[in-house]
Amino acid sequence: MNATLTTAHELCRVLEEDPGLAEAIPEERRGRAVAECLVRQVTMPVGRWSAAPGATSHSGVGLLVLDGLLVRRVGVDGRFGAELLGEGDLLRPWEGEDEAPTLTLRTGWRVLQTARLAVLDDAFTAHLADYPELAGRLVARAIGRSRNAIVNMAIVHQARVDVRLHMIFWHLAARWGRVGSEGVIVPLALTHAVLAELAAARRPTVTSALTVLAKQDLVRPIEAGWLLTGDPPGNGYELDARVGATLAG
């Protein structure tokens, strides 16, 4: 399915949906802000997503993920990188799409879990004059997304794919993880194909690397997503050296 922002929408109180934004406003003014910041929301089904030109206004702040999970893919010469996005992330999927690239890029979005997006358009932007605290919180969200991308870039420079995956899972756990009786649960249904793009690796190599991690009792799939056991990887990270040569690159 190739969904666009023409999906039927309804109104929502964005500060009620996203308490982290509401907390930026002093308590004595918060109730009024919650009532006034009424925005459109769209629901995106699982599948490919195309923010087609003209589907919605491209002015304003952008789109705020209220819940769900999306992946943004960028490919160069047959190799792809990916960014995982979810609740609280700020998007402008149309940004830069009309610019002529110096490299031939393939870009795309996919909804992995049904997503709801708040449309922070010009009407919402007008409220920033009354509630300027929101501007700083939204900028912080954008910077946080950039920081996560840089962390992932550092991770994929690790030579071994099993190391990359172990680090990626713990990086995701910092945001989505919850402590269970056996370890840390990352409740994300990530396929080997998606993990391959996050780790900048081939899917068959990722499958082999996950087998190694499972044998080391570090990461294994469960019904709720993925289970991490043991401690997060640190400096001088090493696994069984016997498998290292087969999982490099």
DSSP string, 105-158: EEEEEEEEEEEEEEEE-HHHHHGGGT-THHHHHHHHHHHHHHHHHHHHHHHTTS
Q: How far apart are CA 188 and CA 160, in angstroms?
A: 23
Q: How far apart are the first and last CA of the chain?
A: 33
Domain count, the chain: 2
For residue 221, what are the β-bridge partners?
226
CATH of the domain at 208: 1.10.10.10
Has this prediction a pTM greater than 0.85? Answer: no
CATH of the domain at 14: 2.60.120
Domain boundary among the residues 129, 154, 179 is at 154
185-223: per-residue pLDDT in tens?
A: 999 999 999 999 999 999 999 999 999 999 999 999 999
Both 115 and 166 in one domain: the answer is no
Both 25 and 64 in one domain: the answer is yes
Q: Is 37 in a helix, a strand, or coil? A: coil
Confidence band (pLDDT; 50, 70, 90) for 56? low
Q: How far apart are CA 56 and CA 92, in angstroms?
A: 11
Domain boundary among the residues 137, 154, 171 is at 154
> Is the distance from CB of 63 to CB of 120 less than 8 angstroms?
yes
Question: What number of other Cβ atoms are within 10 A of residue 184's Cβ?
Answer: 21
- Residue identified by tokens 């023409």 is 6
> Is the distance from CB of 140 to CB of 88 less than 8 angstroms?
no
Domain that holds residue 136: 2-154
Task: Specify the range with the lowest mean pLDDT, choosing from 26-30, 54-58, 148-152.
Answer: 54-58
- Look up residue 128 and give its DSSP letter: G
The two beta strands, 47-49 and 2-3, are parallel
21-53: per-residue pLDDT in tens?
A: 999 999 999 999 999 999 999 999 999 987 654
214-247: per-residue pLDDT in tens?
A: 999 999 999 999 999 988 887 545 434 333 433 3
What's the count of helices (H) and strands (E) in the chain, helices before strands?
Answer: 8, 12
78-121: per-residue pLDDT in tens?
A: 677 889 999 999 998 887 555 556 766 777 899 999 999 999 99
Q: Which amino acid is at 15?
A: L
Both 164 and 142 in one domain: the answer is no
> Is the distance from CB of 133 to CB of 25 less than 8 angstroms?
yes
- Structure token pair of residue 125: 């932007």
> Is the distance from CB of 122 to CB of 60 less than 8 angstroms?
yes
Both 188 and 136 in one domain: the answer is no
